[in-house]
Amino acid sequence: MLYSQTTGVGPNLVLLHGWGFNSDLFDSLIEKYKHQYRITKIDLPGHGRSDDVAGGLDEWCDEIIKLLPKKPILLGWSLGGLLAINLAKKIKLSKLILVASTPNFVQNSHWQYGINADNFQQFSNALSLNLSKGLKRFVSLQTQNKNQLKTLSQSIDALPASASALNQGLEILLTSDLTKHFKHLSIPIEATLGSRDTLVPHAIKQWYSNQNISVSLLDTGHLPFLHNDFKL
């Protein structure tokens, strides 16, 4: 069973976090928007308070679907964005919001807007050596807000992801290419990118614009939603 928590009033907004973290990462965003949206945060399989789910991208999404309200706005950050794109072909959404995310995280012969696979593997290997320390250092490079850092560090320590979920998540990130599917989506889509993001090159802004998608580029790294200028 996956963990979820719903707060607020208004249109249904569902938040999906990224690899290695948990949904508490969104608490400051929820506090900011709980009077405008009915917000559901979900811990991904094997992350936070959620049980492991066997399989990969589709199996994870099938479990997430069980928790989704009817025709929600779906916001996905990083790995959560990849899951959200896949969910968009399975169920009806009113809007898709991608934050520091992409339909393909890894470069290949026809996709220049990803990270080199070897570099990505080195990054994930370094984190895996000491996940808690690695994630906390990663967050410290994204925000200077001491209260945010303290809260996020406590959450990382208290709710670590399982080893199997980390491996599954990396496999999804390394092997999923949803670019063709993405081009056929007919729902409203918005994207927010960080100009200093080392995992999702902000050059993808032009590709998104070519797909008639509204894009915001903030002066941030890989966690734009922690920035004061981030808006829903």
Which is catalytic among the residues 47, 50, 176, 197?
197
Angstrom distance (rounded) from CA 20 to CA 68? 22
Which is catalytic among the residues 78, 101, 155, 176?
78
User: 182 to each of 14, 19, 164, how far by Cα in Å?
Assistant: 19, 21, 28
- The candidate with the shortest Cα–Cα distance to 92, out of 74, 119, 114, 118, is 74
> Among this protein's residues, is 109 annotated catalytic?
no
- The candidate with the shortest Cα–Cα distance to 92, out of 124, 70, 63, is 70
CB 217 within 8 A of CB 202: yes
> Among this protein's residues, is 197 annotated catalytic?
yes
Total residue count of the chain as it appears in this document: 232
> Among this protein's residues, is 222 annotated catalytic?
yes
Q: Which residues pair with 218 in a beta bridge?
A: 194
CB 102 within 8 A of CB 204: yes
Residue numbers annotated as active site = 78, 197, 222
